[in-house]
Structure 1
Amino acid sequence: MRSYHSKKPSLYTFENWTQAHDIYLIEHNHLELDVLAEHLPFGKDEIMARRKALGLVRRMRQLKKLNLYDE
């Protein structure tokens, strides 16, 4: 039987994130955090937390396993 881990609550509330911010992050997820922080009005930690919340970190890992995404 597989044991499931409970998710830790996020340290960030994403109330200030608009749909336009999410769309930009999804479309430009391949960019480095420094570049994203220049174009989005959020810090690196908050951008990384939002990436995790949107499932983009997991997606990058999956693509790396398939050798479709090089960092």
Structure 2
Amino acid sequence: MNDKSFEIKAYYKTELAMIYSPQMSKRGALRRFNKWLERNPRLASLLDENDFTPKQVQQIVDEVGTP
């Protein structure tokens, strides 16, 4: 993120996708984010989620990195 540090908290999937890909449209960012989840065996179980708990967000950050 720009000048703020990333906070581990609950996020909607689209919101988190936009944080990871702010230069993209919502649809494009969500599509890219879903591909990341799909390709990672440890994250694939999160594909059907529409919102993430702080624990799930931490899991994503651990696998994909901090946005």
* TM-score after normalising by structure 2: 0.32
Higher relative contact order (CA 8 A, sep 6+): 2
If each structure's strand is expressed as a fraction of its own residues, which one has the higher value?
2
* TM-score after normalising by structure 1: 0.30
Larger Rg over CA atoms? 1
